[in-house]
């Protein structure tokens, strides 16, 4: 892929060593996704950011270096010690705090963060209708929740709508993937956020090409790279969704708490 094209769309991410980014991205190139997302986020030095499902924490390092924010790098499956070693090697130990925790049982105070950022991880837990109300508890008033992930360009309602190239893998890897408008509705119906951005990632085509190229380079089998290379109609894409916390009170349905009343 032309380096100039990448530099033009992703000037910040292009400054990082491509081999380092490739080795530490657990899905698509995490810095391309993140740079696209942060173009629409009002991040300022000193803000507190939760990088949820941070994987190998290079997104957290990027956020600290590029925006001067303090980042809690949270992932349930990646060792906090390994992430800390990477954070120290990047000289970000004063600004990035690594933590192993489940996105559904977070150890933070309410209204603690200015922004919650989730790159290529939200589909693991966020399709649950009750997840947005849960995670919004940790956002300050007016704070942003921002996700970048994979989407479809048209919603699959029934199995006969699954395109031929996805049929073999659909019920393993794809049944929880949705369109941008599906996600927008999921968030808007709660009234807890004002959706500010719901659109394809800038450079979605570059993200796709880079992903296929990275897997070819590593000679690895990957169902996702396979699907992207078979997808001639661009049925699979990448999106960003950003919501600003409204003043609406959060109601989390909790049977145990209700039965004690
Ligand atoms: C595809 S990887 C993406 C990682 C990183 N954001 C990146 O783009 O390289 C998804 C990450 O989500 C994390 N994850 C999945 N479910 C989680 C949960 N319930 N709580 C915290 N992290 C979770 C996984 O451990 C994994 O590191």
pLDDT along the chain (261 residues), means of 10: 82 95 92 96 98 98 98 98 98 98 98 98 97 97 97 97 96 97 98 98 88 78 89 94 96 72 64
- Report if residue 163 sits inside a domain: no
Q: Which of 78, 99, 116, 124 to mutate to test the pocket of ligand 1 (most atoms within 8 A of CB)?
A: 124
Cα of 30 vs centre of ligand 1, distance in Å, is 11
Q: What pLDDT score does 80 carry?
A: 98
- Report if residue 101 sits inside a domain: yes
- Report if residue 258 sits inside a domain: no
Contact 172, 223 (CB under 8 A): yes
Nearest to 248 by CA among 142, 154, 146: 142
- Report if residue 222 sits inside a domain: no
61 CB within 6 A, ligand 1: no
53 CB within 6 A, ligand 1: yes
Number of domains in the chain: 1
What are the DSSP calls for 148-170, one per residue? EEEEESS---SGGGS-GGGTTTI
Q: What pLDDT score does 28 carry?
A: 85
- Report if residue 233 sits inside a domain: no
Residue ranges making up the domain that contains 110: 3-153+178-206+238-244
Q: What pLDDT score does 217 carry?
A: 75
Cα of 102 vs centre of ligand 1, distance in Å, is 10
Q: What pLDDT score does 1 carry?
A: 53
Cα of 112 vs centre of ligand 1, distance in Å, is 21
Phi, psi of 120 (to 5 degrees): 60, 30
CATH code for the domain of 18? 3.40.50.150
- Report if residue 15 sits inside a domain: yes
Cα of 94 vs centre of ligand 1, distance in Å, is 23
78 CB within 6 A, ligand 1: yes
131 CB within 6 A, ligand 1: no
- Report if residue 87 sits inside a domain: yes
Cα of 53 vs centre of ligand 1, distance in Å, is 4
- Report if residue 39 sits inside a domain: yes
Report the phi/psi class of residue 57: left, alpha or beta, with left for phi > 0 and alpha for psi in -120 to 50. Answer: left
Q: What is the three-class DSSP state of 76?
A: coil
Locate 69 and state its tokens.
């924010």
Model confidence, pTM:
0.95
């Amino acid at each position: 892929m032309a380096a100039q094209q990448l530099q033009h769309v992703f000037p910040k991410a292009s400054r990082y060593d491509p081999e380092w980014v490739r080795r530490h991205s657990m899905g698509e190139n995490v810095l391309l996704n993140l740079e696209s997302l942060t173009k629409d986020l009002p991040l300022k030095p000193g803000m507190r950011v939760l990088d949820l499902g941070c994987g190998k924490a290079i997104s957290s390092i990027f956020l600290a270096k590029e925006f001067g924010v303090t980042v809690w790098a949270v992932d349930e499956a990646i060792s906090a010690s390994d992430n800390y070693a990477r954070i120290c090697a990047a000289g970000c130990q004063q600004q990035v705090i690594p933590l192993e925790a489940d996105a559904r049982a977070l150890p933070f105070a309410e209204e603690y963060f200015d922004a919650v950022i989730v790159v290529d991880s939200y589909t693991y837990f966020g399709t649950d209708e009750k997840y947005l109300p849960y995670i919004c508890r940790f956002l300050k008033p007016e704070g942003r929740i921002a996700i970048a992930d994979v989407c479809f360009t048209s919603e699959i309602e029934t199995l006969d709508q699954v395109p031929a190239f996805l049929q073999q893998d659909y019920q393993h890897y794809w049944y929880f993937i949705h369109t941008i408008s599906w996600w927008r509705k999921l968030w808007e119906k709660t009234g807890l956020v004002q959706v500010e951005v719901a659109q394809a990632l800038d450079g979605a085509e570059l993200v796709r090409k880079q992903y296929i190229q990275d897997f070819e380079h590593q000679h690895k089998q990957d169902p996702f790279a396979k699907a992207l290379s078979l997808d001639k109609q661009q049925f699979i894409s990448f999106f960003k969704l950003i919501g600003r916390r409204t003043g609406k009170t959060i109601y989390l349905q909790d049977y145990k708490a209700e039965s004690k009343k």
